[in-house]
Amino acid sequence: MARPTRSNDWGFPRWRGYGSKSEAVEVRSCDRHGCDKPGKHPAPKAPNHPDRWYFCEAHAADYNRRWNYFHGLNAEEAAAREADETSSANGYRSAQHYGWGGPGDGTRSRDEMKALELLEVDVDASFDEIKSAYRRLAKANHPDTARDDADAALRFQAVQAAYDVLRNSEERRNGQR
């Protein structure tokens, strides 16, 4: 009488992972004619259609390079689809004001951006440029030099506050504070 062979699933510890099978794993080959590499990358056969081709990485890249998203649509349908998808994608742009949402690379706060605007310097200005702009505007708006201008004192205070904001942020960046 022949004795049946045991699998690795008996006893403790299990010798293979839970949920793994002892049967052979089926590998799908690339759907491109003549290619015998595994087809791991699905690609649609037609727009908005559930059927898929399965290509190897090289053939999937070639297929995507030549893919025409508007294939089979006339000019009006293509324009309507593009307008619909553009309008839904532009919904994210309307929320831009919640973030950094302005010029610059995102390293400056809104207060710093307002201070740079008040000092009339570029967003990517160095601290030396900021300092020279502050000195120029402070000299022009100082109450002692502009005695006949009633708003000069207010402009001087605004320029000084803007410079203080930028100086403090520069000190924080350099680790001096």
- How much is the average pLDDT of 6-13? 58
The CATH architecture one would assign to domain 110-174 is Orthogonal Bundle (1.10)
Please give the single-letter amino acid code of residue 30: C
pLDDT in tens, 88-134: 666 666 665 555 445 555 678 888 889 999 999 988 888 999 999 99
Q: What is the pLDDT of residue 116?
A: 92
| Cα(53)–Cα(30) distance, integer angstroms | 8
Query: Is the pLDDT confidence value at 3 over 70?
Result: no
Count other C-beta atoms under 10 Å from residue 37's C-beta.
14
C-alpha to C-alpha distances, 124 to 70, 76, 93, 99, 150, nearest whole angstrom:
42, 45, 24, 19, 33
Q: What are the residue boundaries of the structural domains of the chain, listed by start? A: 26-72, 110-174
